[in-house]
Structure 1
């Protein structure tokens, strides 16, 4: 925060002295609310978890010329707190990672022009598909970064995106501590270089993650990851085919006491038939020698989006993981008064990458639609364990409103 305060003090006279300061200041309110019931039933625990939570974010954006300043507060209230929130121990119930919290969600200054954007302060950072760096939006407290981020488009079709991060504000909120702290400090560098080629965006990336907190796995989540990704789409008459392919290699970094290297692979296809949707893919988070935390880890990702909604693999097992998945669904622009209606189902088969063995299978189901400014969703996950974890069923009923 000291670095952020210094930056704000240095930026103020520059903004005041600029001719832009004479322009009209535009104020835009920020407001969003979420009401959710989440239930988890996990074998081996005597009770279910039931969480009825209400999350509110509110703030303001002030813009003048190419400059803007944003401040946003956030509060999460547990109306029905019958769950283990990750912070206050409850050995009888499963984990639902939404502890009560209130505090500053974002506070940033931004300069934006056609080729160049500079953002400094507490901010959301979501890179590519959020597999390695994301905002963890499914969790009520979200994930933000105390960082300076530079986005540059030197020529058409080429974009460089580099961030220096000195703190990660976690989903565990103001009471976070120990292995689940409120924030994780360090000197992290996130770098992307993308080119919009004729067949899709080709990206090279380097993520140097420094988690400088001994309580968080004894520095064992610090890593350096280098890789490449291709993502694109092609029209096939009225249909659309989207595709992704990615490879990366990860090894230990900075104070990590482990010595390891592991690979990541992804191949993904999605076909939208102007209503019906089909998809499938194969993702591998590789392993080294089978020791804990020497497999491919993604501590800054929006992990809920990957490897099933039951969240059985938030930390990659020592022997890695292979995820074979297939999806189907249907979408409608409008059904009566409800817009953006969609139904979807995803099936996963999980295996270890090393010493191949079956971890388990999962089915994920989702129905959602929007009326006015409110989106309603009903979500279900069913993980059937074989050689990893315990049978787990999760159910969500959620309402999201935004201004």
Structure 2
């Protein structure tokens, strides 16, 4: 006799198959649906191409995610989730504009640990099941020449999202209750300055903060950009987060100068300094180095880089007290997609990496290799191999397949042991 639990699971699988097939069919059909796309775009603007009455925004993301770390107790995770974002952008009214966005995550199959929900007997997939929230609610003003001021709950992405980002890979992104001003009144100079009062996290929790920040970006023309920044992060109320309070300062140069029609160079040179701040109970100072060089030729891009975040010297400490941390960064984009090092361990981390990217039949292909160790390079953590293929169909549809394989070193510290594999399949419809 089939148990009720098994029947429920089969029902979830059936619903998932129907939803996924529908979404993927709509996605692939987008390449042949220009007329339909225009009709939808027009409807979302209330029949006015100039957006006279504002416009509705719509984003549906289906994702299957598999996660497994060998020789650990939880069962492999299987997450079939659908993320819906539905918003409304007002028309411009004497320099003012507003935006409101609702976000909902539905788990058709929740055999995973979503941290704040889900099944704790499975591995973590940081997408909390069956959650909904106010993702954005902001008002902007551009009545001051060369200046945009935005206040309210908003998406903030600065530079490469290393220090302040929206963690856009997760189904429920991170947004901020903040005020930010962007000024371009001086030629070639962009200044972003603001204050973050709170953080709506990817697990639908809320962290109270005090975070003034400034980012100054000077354009060097074809050579690239020179950037300086400062972030003063203080966590409030939740004492468990006080150890993340920090002050960070840095300088960064980067660019992709085009040598000729066949050759483009790529480079990054960045240094950051971080120390304890305000209510952090740990006194520390740590450095970060980020270097990359590469080129694009014959449609192939190759890059080699090294990012190092210094630690406290305590190799066995996985919590990373006294190590260089980036708690508001989009950390999935760094140190491998398997997410084994979202928090810098006590021994720090050195990531020597190589990236190869190209396109075949309009599909984008990427391979990334990571050699991971402590900040001195004397203690090996492991190697990671990441693969990704993406395909866009017009402006509104895309597909993605992604794979991450972390191979632990035989002598790795306890927190870095055990191989990890993750697989993702994704389809997006966005208007």
TM-score (norm 1): 0.87
User: Conserved in 2, the CA contact under 8 Å of 1:58 and 1:74?
Assistant: yes
Residue of structure 1 aligned with 2:96, choices 52, 67, 70: 67
Task: Kindly state the Cα deviation for residue 89 of structure 1 after the two structures are TM-superposed.
Answer: 6.6
Residue of structure 2 aligned with 1:81, choices 110, 113, 116: 110
Aligned twin of 1:162 = 193
- How big is each residue's C-alpha offset from its partner over 1:69-126, in whole Å with a ceiling of 9 and x where there is no partner? 0001000011100001111374432110000210100000001255101000000110
The SS at the match of 1:235 is coil
User: Conserved in 2, the CA contact under 8 Å of 1:262 and 1:287?
Assistant: yes
Aligned twin of 1:310 = 338
What CA distance in whole angstroms lies between the structure 1 residues aligned with 2:122 and 2:237?
Answer: 28
Looking at secondary structure, tell me which structure has more strand per residue.
1
Deviates more, 1:74-83 or 1:285-294: 285-294
Aligned twin of 1:39 = 66
What CA distance in whole angstroms lies between the structure 1 residues aligned with 2:356 and 2:79?
Answer: 29
* Cα distance change on mapping 1:89 and 1:68 into 2, 3 Å: closer
Aligned twin of 2:365 = 343
Aligned twin of 1:126 = 157
What CA distance in whole angstroms lies between the structure 1 residues aligned with 2:279 and 2:111?
Answer: 38
Aligned twin of 1:235 = 258
Task: Kindly state the Cα deviation for residue 355 of structure 1 after the two structures are TM-superposed.
Answer: 7.3
What CA distance in whole angstroms lies between the structure 2 residues aligned with 1:160 and 1:49?
Answer: 43
* Cα distance change on mapping 1:304 and 1:271 into 2, 3 Å: same
What CA distance in whole angstroms lies between the structure 1 residues aligned with 2:181 and 2:376?
Answer: 39
The SS at the match of 1:98 is coil
The SS at the match of 1:210 is strand
Deviates more, 1:379-388 or 1:347-356: 347-356
Map 1:223-262 → 2, pairs under 5 A: 223-237=246-260, 238-262=262-286
The SS at the match of 1:103 is strand
Q: Does 1:94 align with 2:118?
A: no
Q: Does 1:368 align with 2:390?
A: yes
Task: Kindly state the Cα deviation for residue 67 of structure 1 after the two structures are TM-superposed.
Answer: 1.4
Residue of structure 2 aligned with 1:103, choices 133, 138, 156: 133
Aligned twin of 1:327 = 355
Q: Does 1:49 align with 2:77?
A: yes
User: Conserved in 1, the CA contact under 8 Å of 2:80 and 2:108?
Assistant: yes
RMSD over aligned CA atoms reads: 1.6
What CA distance in whole angstroms lies between the structure 2 residues aligned with 1:46 and 1:162?
Answer: 44
TM-score (norm 2): 0.82
Task: Kindly state the Cα deviation for residue 213 of structure 1 after the two structures are TM-superposed.
Answer: 3.9
Aligned twin of 1:381 = 404
- Where do 5+ consecutive residues of structure 1 fail to align? 1-23, 174-181
The size of the alignment, in residue pairs, is: 365
- How big is each residue's C-alpha offset from its partner over 1:10-44, in whole Å with a ceiling of 9 and x where there is no partner? xxxxxxxxxxxxxx954021111100000011111
What CA distance in whole angstroms lies between the structure 2 residues aligned with 1:121 and 1:90?
Answer: 34
User: Conserved in 2, the CA contact under 8 Å of 1:287 and 1:354?
Assistant: no
Looking at secondary structure, tell me which structure has more helix per residue.
2
Aligned twin of 2:328 = 300
- How big is each residue's C-alpha offset from its partner over 1:119-162, in whole Å with a ceiling of 9 and x where there is no partner? 00000110001111101111111000000001111311111101
What CA distance in whole angstroms lies between the structure 1 residues aligned with 2:371 and 2:268?
Answer: 19
Deviates more, 1:358-367 or 1:345-354: 345-354
The SS at the match of 2:327 is coil
What CA distance in whole angstroms lies between the structure 2 residues aligned with 1:210 and 1:169?
Answer: 15
Task: Kindly state the Cα deviation for residue 254 of structure 1 after the two structures are TM-superposed.
Answer: 1.1
The SS at the match of 2:332 is helix
* Cα distance change on mapping 1:227 and 1:130 into 2, 3 Å: same
Task: Kindly state the Cα deviation for residue 216 of structure 1 after the two structures are TM-superposed.
Answer: 3.5
The SS at the match of 1:304 is helix
Aligned twin of 2:45 = none
Deviates more, 1:192-201 or 1:83-92: 83-92
Q: Does 1:396 align with 2:424?
A: yes
User: Conserved in 1, the CA contact under 8 Å of 2:157 and 2:166?
Assistant: yes
What CA distance in whole angstroms lies between the structure 1 residues aligned with 2:243 and 2:296?
Answer: 41
The SS at the match of 1:187 is strand
- Where do 5+ consecutive residues of structure 2 fail to align? 1-50
User: Conserved in 1, the CA contact under 8 Å of 2:313 and 2:348?
Assistant: no
